[in-house]
Amino acid sequence: MDLSIPRVMGIVNLTPDSFFTDSRKKNDNQLLKEVEKMIVDGADFIDIGGYSTRPNAESVSEEEEIQRVLEPIQKIRKTFPTIPISLDTFRGKVAEIGFNEGVDLINDISGFQYDPTMLSVLEKIRLPYVLMHVNEAEQNMHKTVQNELLFREMIHYFSEKIRQLNDRGLTDILIDPGFGFSKTMEQNYALVQQLDLFQLLERPILVGFSRKSMIYKKLNCTPEEALNGTSILNTRAIIKGASILRVHDVKAAKEVLALTI
């Protein structure tokens, strides 16, 4: 896919406890209708995940995650054979099963830190990979630390992990600054302002602001009321060089692109 033109990734949650109520797990008919609407609205990717990473979410077993994503991947691939599917997982086995079912991209919130098998699986399946910045321990993924050198440390983090992936022969790598993960409110907004500087890594940038707490807490509203704030941050991200907007609301994101690029 040509990422010289910004793209939109539609979020399909296969979890019962997503922080955004409207995106929670649905039956098969609702799932396919949701995907169809995203495609009609202009989604370039569908991103599906079966493990909630919201703060204080319950951990689920590998088997449960597989059970949540396997049949939906099969149904989406059968019903919409041409839409690229991104699989949101940090587990190597889940990524490999997704590959076998035809997913096109692995979107890993852990930077291959939470499952020791992920890196070898990536080397085997050789799918494009979204590398996100987050704390190295799963239980600390939302732990925040005041750090005036965060941007410099993130550049080191991305550079080192890109090198490890390159050493395995993996070159189709996107970076995600990990908004809402391991960062204070102030750090999140500082990184929005610095987003264009990540282009020195010469990798496409994916951003995921959609209805997150960095928006609704700052605006003193709910996730359901955070669409306008999401669009504003997506606009800022596109102006600063982002290549993919990961969103719950595809139509609004496409409008951002239409009025920004």
Contact at 8 Å (CB) between 261 and 6? yes
Of 26-40, 56-70, 187-201, which one has max mean pLDDT?
187-201
Average pLDDT for 233-250: 98
Out of 7, 212, 236, 254, which one is annotated catalytic?
Answer: 212
Active site residue 246: yes
Active site residue 75: no
Average pLDDT for 150-154: 93
**In angstroms, what is the C-alpha Rg of the chain?**
17
State which amino acid sits at residue 51. Y
DSSP H or E segment with residue 121 = helix 118-125
Predicted confidence at residue 148, as pLDDT, reads: 75
The first and second tokens of residue 255, run together, are 């409008």
Rounded to whole angstroms, the Cα distance separating 92 from 253 reads 31
Query: What residues does 176 pair with on adjacent strands?
Result: 132
Higher pLDDT, 253 or 182: 253
Rounded to whole angstroms, the Cα distance separating 257 from 233 reads 12
The secondary structure of residue 212, as a DSSP letter, is -
Predicted confidence at residue 226, as pLDDT, reads: 96
Residue 104 CA, chain-centre distance (Å), reads 14
pLDDT digits (tens, 9 = 90+) for 201-215: 999 999 999 999 999
Predicted confidence at residue 143, as pLDDT, reads: 75
Average pLDDT for 222-226: 95
Residue 7 clears pLDDT 90, i.e. is over it: yes
Of 55-64, 132-141, 223-232, which one has max mean pLDDT?
223-232
Predicted confidence at residue 249, as pLDDT, reads: 97
Higher pLDDT, 56 or 215: 215
Residue 23 clears pLDDT 70, i.e. is over it: no
Out of 7, 68, 246, 254, which one is annotated catalytic?
Answer: 246
Predicted confidence at residue 251, as pLDDT, reads: 98
Higher pLDDT, 143 or 215: 215
Q: What is the mean pLDDT of the chain?
A: 93
Average pLDDT for 235-239: 98
* Structural domains of the chain, ranges and CATH numbers in brackets: 7-260 (3.20.20.20)
Exposure b/e, 154-168, CB count within 10 A at least 16 = b: beebbeebbeebeee
pLDDT digits (tens, 9 = 90+) for 93-127: 999 999 999 999 999 999 999 999 999 999 999 99
Contact at 8 Å (CB) between 103 and 86? yes
How would residue 53 be classed by pLDDT, with cut points 50, 70 and 90? confident
Average pLDDT for 178-191: 94
Residue 168 clears pLDDT 80, i.e. is over it: yes
Number of neighbouring beta carbons within 10 Å of residue 251: 15
